[in-house]
Amino acid sequence: MSGHAMEEMAEDDLDIEDVEQVLLNGRMARIERDDPRGTRYVVEGTAVDETTPVAVVGRFTTTDRYLIITVYAITEL
């Protein structure tokens, strides 16, 4: 998990259990192929509280590990 992801998680009062919940029970919302650093995968689901919508964005590294780039609570505009 990147430092940026940890900071964003803290800003939105989320923790690692929320990230795990989303990755294990959420759905693939988007695949973004326009980043020159590599394809990003956006998984959306709910936090452990079952009401807060959360997105986890990551990419696979050259060693086939999933690097979590950012995590945020989804808010409507």
CA distances from 20 to 17, 44, 49 (A): 5, 11, 13
Q: Which of 28, 30, 37 is nearest to 67 (CA)?
A: 37
Q: Are 71 and 45 within 8 A, CB to CB? A: no
User: What DSSP character marks residue 13?
Assistant: T
Strands 53-60 and 66-73: antiparallel
The one-letter amino acid at 33: R
pLDDT in tens, 53-70: 999 999 999 899 999 999
pLDDT in tens, 12-27: 999 999 999 999 999 9
pTM of the model: 0.90
